[in-house]
């Protein structure tokens, strides 16, 4: 195909003008049309079994560059645009980012779809078509405010399918209308689909902020992702979303099974279902219900579904392990109640241990318990996380079904997270080891041969500087802030959560600020970059954002400190920002409290882009440390065993963690008390800052004070080492070379071999 000719014809058809007179916006629409058409024409991959990857979120990011790459058009199109004096980056900036997810879990699902298609495996995503996403974050007067985040335009990647399925709620039925996004595989010639269900008549945008009528299920069911669940109506709406996803998805599965010429009783031989965290769990009872409706006995239905479904656990945080009051489910999905009661009865009959029951004495349904009893596989997402599941969190289940438990360490797609987001680095790697790493990220290991090649190391440093300069330009253009291009870029970007400990990073900033004010200057200037959204109802997380924004303001206004230490926070951190920040990062902050971050995937993206990790031995950081060796990572802090013992009250005197003991160390007290110092209170909200201060001293549930001194020491050591540019470049190189293990292609191959058996 001649791309120029095809696009020129499209331009004439659609806009009645020659290609070179099209605006960036029009060029974007033409490329979208072209990609969507080509992707649609691709065949679906074939296989004995077909996977349905159920997830409440798919954080796909912008699709244009990735689809051009997958369709083999990237080179031609960027060249053509260049010849026309245009720029693909500018054209892509016209594309809104689909607001279909909010963080690591949704981004994982998107990477998995990319890998499934690239590996030519039959696997579709199943999710919901949210109209306004989680929210768009806007900073006003040092605080996060939330606005709707619309993304659908008349021309979008969504393909109407004409398919619809009735979802029977209590008292009313809604049609689930199915839209698809085509997922072309890079190098495989095939395409899978992301199926997104929507209501027939979605509400338009009559709200103030992100408030809306949570009782108006027929119109608002798909308005927002995870609507604020701090009140009863919000929680119930979430229940409606979950059953809508499960029921429509289950009906789609059985419809396609029949179209492929199989009977409902052959489900397990031809279908695999992966349940991404517990949100889609109702697919289990719904499939059982539908199979019984189609004539299977309950025993056969349960057996088929058990052999079909597999569950991925993403967290050990108690508040994230979903339970549903049986009473709510009676309202939302009354037809599932007999199935749930039967599933629970069988468990209670077989296992006296109440810890493994599905319905507890308070009549709450434990979703993860149902997934484990009535699925064939349970996996954690990093080696450490899976061990914690087996020996602590889900220990009684591991005792019952040891063969069901296994680990699948997360991964990321190197197509988006290296090839597309960091072209200069990809070109440098090509020049060293050739292009094969693009198919097989394990080949990056070949870079180890260049660990002593000063020319390559120089070029690596030059690429990093180029990316830092690019970030500076983008920052200036979008946030009006001029960064110091020669400073060390220290980056913590991820959802805001106390366990991720952005507050501990803020304590470090305070430490440096006070040092500089005391005349102790650092060896080189540092820029501390943050990006994070806080859940709208998560008060403490919003206080932490406020603290960061206050520190930023304090430092920007202080001519003594500003040349040495800067703080910046990107507004509305999303995939697009991640793609800009990660290539420019020197130090990757992965500082969660050990045992709390199941895996993390941000850590992997940073590593692949030559950032050096400063982190705790948590999640996949443990595996990163094993791969790169202690001289190429900076680790600190309590181990997960120590932390788990503290939560059990495991100090010698039988008490658990006591933050006051750490607070009273002089070096720590000074940092914590700074939160309520007159200078900070002058720029911030006293109520928020003192609430944060009280919480840190009195509760500190995620133990920032336990690790903060060790953290400061490790971080300062890291900054000192940065000064030896050649040694640092060596660390960067080793990190890139060893990152191939974290390709989602590897993860997907393992799922396929151990769980799905698709081809
Ligand atoms: C990768 C990614 C995440 C996950 O980051 P973690 O550090 O693993 O929590 C969250 N948001 C976006 C936009 C991402 O790209």
pLDDT tens per residue, range 659-704:
999 999 999 999 999 999 999 999 999 999 999 999 999 999 999 9
Q: Indicate which residue's Cα is closest to atom 15 of ligand 1.
A: 575
The whole-number average pLDDT for the span 194-205 is 93
**Adjacent-strand bridge partners of 123:** 51
Instruction: Give me the torsion for CA of 278, 282, 284, 290, rounded to 10°.
Output: -160
The whole-number average pLDDT for the span 576-604 is 98
Atom of ligand 1 nearest to the CA of 574: 13
Question: For residue 670, what are the CA distances in angstroms to 354, 664, 678, 692?
Answer: 47, 9, 13, 15
Closest to 386 (Cα-Cα) out of 599, 656, 146: 599
- Report for 150-154, 411-415, 480-484: range of highest mean pLDDT: 411-415
User: Residues 436, 419: contact at Cβ < 8 Å?
Assistant: no
Q: Give pLDDT, residue 229.
A: 55
Pairing of β 143-147 and β 136-140: antiparallel
User: Residues 373, 343: contact at Cβ < 8 Å?
Assistant: yes
CA neighbours closer than 13 Å in the CB half-sphere of residue 614: 25
Helix (H) or strand (E) holding 475: helix 454-479
The whole-number average pLDDT for the span 488-497 is 97
Pocket probe mutation, ligand 1, options 57, 59, 416, 577, max atoms within 8 Å of Cβ:
59
- 3-state secondary structure labels for all residues of 82-116: HHCCCCHHHHHCCCCCCCCCCCHHHHHHHHHHHHH
User: Residues 270, 50: contact at Cβ < 8 Å?
Assistant: yes
Q: Give pLDDT, residue 584.
A: 98
- CA-to-CA distance for 61 and 96, rounded, in angstroms? 9
- CA-to-CA distance for 386 and 610, rounded, in angstroms? 27
Q: Give pLDDT, residue 395.
A: 96
Q: Give pLDDT, residue 212.
A: 73
- Residue, of 211 and 112, whose pLDDT is higher: 112
The whole-number average pLDDT for the span 243-257 is 98
Q: Give pLDDT, residue 317.
A: 83
- pLDDT-derived band of residue 651, with 50, 70 and 90 as boundaries? low
Residue in this structure with the two tokens 């021309």, named with its chain if needed: 155
Helix (H) or strand (E) holding 310: strand 309-312
Q: Which residues are catalytic?
A: 314, 494-495, 500, 601, 605
Instruction: Give me the torsion for CA of 86, 88, 91, 95, rounded to 10°.
Output: 180
Q: Give pLDDT, residue 235.
A: 86
Does the beta carbon of 552 sit less than 6 angstroms from any atom of ligand 1? no
Tens digit of pLDDT for each residue in 73-112? Answer: 999 999 999 999 999 999 999 999 999 999 999 999 999 9
**Adjacent-strand bridge partners of 276:** 312
The whole-number average pLDDT for the span 540-550 is 98
User: Residues 522, 719: contact at Cβ < 8 Å?
Assistant: yes
CA 206 to ligand 1 centroid distance, Å: 31
CA 561 to ligand 1 centroid distance, Å: 30
- CA-to-CA distance for 476 and 466, rounded, in angstroms? 16
Helix (H) or strand (E) holding 183: strand 173-184
pTM value? 0.97
The whole-number average pLDDT for the span 724-739 is 98
Q: Give pLDDT, residue 216.
A: 87
The whole-number average pLDDT for the span 344-370 is 97
Tens digit of pLDDT for each residue in 135-185? Answer: 999 999 999 999 989 999 998 999 999 999 999 999 999 999 999 999 999
Does the beta carbon of 575 sit less than 6 angstroms from any atom of ligand 1? yes
Q: Give pLDDT, residue 232.
A: 66
- CA-to-CA distance for 267 and 257, rounded, in angstroms? 7
- CA-to-CA distance for 164 and 198, rounded, in angstroms? 9
Helix (H) or strand (E) holding 458: helix 454-479
Pocket probe mutation, ligand 1, options 99, 589, 602, 619, max atoms within 8 Å of Cβ:
602
Ramachandran angles phi, psi of 615, nearest 5°: -155, 170
Closest to 274 (Cα-Cα) out of 397, 60, 122, 384: 122
- pLDDT-derived band of residue 557, with 50, 70 and 90 as boundaries? very high
CA 349 to ligand 1 centroid distance, Å: 42
- CA-to-CA distance for 96 and 365, rounded, in angstroms? 38
Does the beta carbon of 600 sit less than 6 angstroms from any atom of ligand 1? yes
- CA-to-CA distance for 65 and 69, rounded, in angstroms? 6
User: Residues 417, 744: contact at Cβ < 8 Å?
Assistant: no
Tokens of 124: 């579709």
Q: Indicate which residue's Cα is closest to atom 3 of ligand 1.
A: 104
Does the beta carbon of 107 sit less than 6 angstroms from any atom of ligand 1? yes
Does the beta carbon of 104 sit less than 6 angstroms from any atom of ligand 1? yes
Closest to 614 (Cα-Cα) out of 591, 644, 580, 581: 591
Residue in this structure with the two tokens 């000063």, named with its chain if needed: 454
> If you average pLDDT over every residue of the chain, what do you get?
95
Atom of ligand 1 nearest to the CA of 600: 8
Q: Give pLDDT, residue 318.
A: 76
Tokens of 55: 């997830």
Q: Give pLDDT, residue 304.
A: 98
Tokens of 660: 């006051």
Pairing of β 123-128 and β 50-54: parallel
Q: Give pLDDT, residue 208.
A: 59
Question: For residue 758, what are the CA distances in angstroms to 23, 307, 494, 744, 753?
Answer: 44, 14, 33, 17, 8
Q: Indicate which residue's Cα is closest to atom 9 of ligand 1.
A: 494
Helix (H) or strand (E) holding 375: none
Q: Give pLDDT, residue 705.
A: 98
Ramachandran angles phi, psi of 635, nearest 5°: -110, 155
Helix (H) or strand (E) holding 460: helix 454-479
Tokens of 410: 């997360």
Q: Give pLDDT, residue 472.
A: 98
- CA-to-CA distance for 24 and 90, rounded, in angstroms? 7
For the cut 80, the answer to whether the pLDDT of residue 320 exceeds it is: no
- CA-to-CA distance for 696 and 106, rounded, in angstroms? 30
Q: Give pLDDT, residue 207.
A: 60
Q: Indicate which residue's Cα is closest to atom 1 of ligand 1.
A: 602
Closest to 365 (Cα-Cα) out of 389, 332, 387: 332
List Cβ neighbours of 37 (8 Å cut-off, separation of 6 or more): none
Question: For residue 638, what are the CA distances in angstroms to 375, 599, 615?
Answer: 35, 17, 11
Helix (H) or strand (E) holding 435: none
- pLDDT-derived band of residue 730, with 50, 70 and 90 as boundaries? very high
Closest to 529 (Cα-Cα) out of 564, 501, 502, 499: 502
């Amino acid at each position: 195909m001649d791309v120029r000719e095809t696009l020129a014809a499209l331009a004439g058809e659609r806009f009645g003008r020659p290609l070179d007179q099209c605006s960036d916006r029009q060029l974007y629409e033409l490329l979208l049309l072209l990609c969507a058409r080509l992707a649609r024409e691709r065949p679906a991959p074939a296989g004995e079994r077909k996977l349905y990857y159920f997830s409440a979120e798919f954080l796909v990011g912008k699709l244009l560059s990735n689809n051009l790459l997958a369709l083999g058009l990237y080179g031609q199109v960027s060249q053509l645009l260049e010849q026309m004096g245009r720029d693909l980056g500018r054209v892509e900036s016209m594309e809104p980012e689909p607001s279909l997810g909010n963080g690591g879990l949704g981004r994982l699902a998107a990477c998995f779809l990319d890998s499934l298609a690239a590996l030519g495996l039959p696997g579709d995503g199943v999710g919901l078509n949210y109209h306004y996403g989680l929210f768009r974050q806007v900073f006003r007067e040092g605080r996060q405010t939330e606005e709707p985040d619309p993304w659908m335009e008349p021309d979008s990647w969504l393909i109407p399918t004409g398919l619809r399925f009735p979802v029977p709620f209590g008292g009313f039925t809604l049609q689930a209308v199915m839209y698809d996004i085509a997922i072309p595989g890079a190098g495989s010639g095939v395409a899978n689909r992301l199926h997104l269900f929507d209501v027939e008549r979605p509400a338009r945008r009559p709200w103030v902020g992100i408030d809306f009528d949570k009782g108006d299920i027929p119109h608002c069911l798909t308005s927002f992702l995870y609507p604020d669940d701090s009140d009863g109506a919000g929680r119930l709406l979430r229940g409606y979303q979950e059953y809508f996803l499960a029921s429509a998805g289950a009906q789609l599965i059985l419809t396609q099974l029949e179209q492929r010429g199989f009977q409902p009783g052959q489900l397990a031989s031809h279908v695999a279902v992966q349940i991404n965290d517990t949100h889609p769990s109702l697919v289990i009872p719904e499939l059982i219900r539908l199979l019984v409706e189609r004539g299977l006995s309950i025993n056969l239905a349960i057996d088929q579904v058990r052999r079909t479904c597999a569950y991925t656990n993403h967290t050990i945080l108690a508040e994230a392990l979903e339970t549903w009051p049986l009473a709510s489910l009676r309202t939302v999905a009354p037809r599932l109640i007999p199935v749930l009661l039967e599933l629970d009865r069988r468990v209670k009959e077989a296992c006296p241990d109440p810890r493994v029951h599905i319905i507890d004495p308070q009549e709450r349904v434990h979703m993860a318990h149902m997934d484990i009893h009535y699925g064939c596989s349970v996996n954690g997402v990093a080696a450490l996380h899976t061990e914690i599941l087996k020996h602590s969190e889900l220990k009684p289940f591991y005792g019952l079904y040891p063969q069901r438990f296994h680990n699948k360490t997360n991964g990321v797609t190197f197509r988006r997270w290296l090839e597309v987001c960091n072209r200069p680095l990809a070109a440098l790697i090509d020049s060293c080891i050739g292009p094969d790493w693009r198919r097989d990220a394990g080949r990056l290991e070949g870079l180890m041969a260049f660990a002593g090649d000063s020319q390559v190391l120089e070029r690596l440093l030059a690429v990093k500087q180029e990316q830092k300069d690019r970030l500076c330009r983008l920052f200036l253009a979008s946030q009006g802030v001029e960064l110091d291009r020669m400073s060390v870029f220290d980056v913590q970007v991820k959802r805001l959560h106390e366990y991720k400990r952005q507050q501990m990073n803020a304590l470090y900033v305070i430490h440096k600020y006070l040092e500089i004010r005391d005349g102790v200057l650092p060896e080189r200037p540092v820029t501390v970059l943050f990006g994070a959204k806080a859940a709208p109802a998560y008060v403490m997380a919003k206080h932490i954002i406020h603290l960061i924004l206050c520190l930023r303001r304090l430092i920007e206004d202080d001519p003594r400190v500003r040349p040495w230490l800067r703080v910046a926070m990107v507004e509305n951190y999303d995939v697009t920002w991640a793609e800009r920040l990660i290539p420019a990062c020197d130090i990757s902050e992965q500082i969660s409290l050990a045992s709390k971050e199941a895996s993390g995937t941000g850590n992997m993206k940073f590593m692949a882009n030559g950032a050096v990790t400063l982190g705790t031995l948590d999640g996949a950081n443990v595996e990163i440390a094993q791969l790169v060796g202690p001289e190429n990572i900076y680790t600190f802090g309590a181990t997960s065993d120590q932390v788990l013992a503290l939560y059990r009250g495991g100090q010698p005197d039988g008490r658990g963690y006591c933050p006051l003991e750490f607070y009273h160390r002089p070096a720590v007290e000074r940092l914590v008390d700074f939160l309520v110092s007159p200078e900070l209170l002058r720029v911030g909200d006293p109520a928020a800052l003192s609430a944060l201060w009280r919480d840190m001293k009195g509760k500190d549930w995620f133990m920032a004070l336990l690790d903060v001194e060790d953290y400061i020491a490790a971080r300062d050591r890291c900054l000192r080492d940065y000064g030896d540019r050649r040694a640092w470049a060596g660390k960067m190189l080793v990190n890139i070379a060893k990152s191939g293990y974290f390709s989602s292609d590897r993860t997907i191959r393992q799922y396929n071999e151990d769980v799905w058996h698709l081809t």
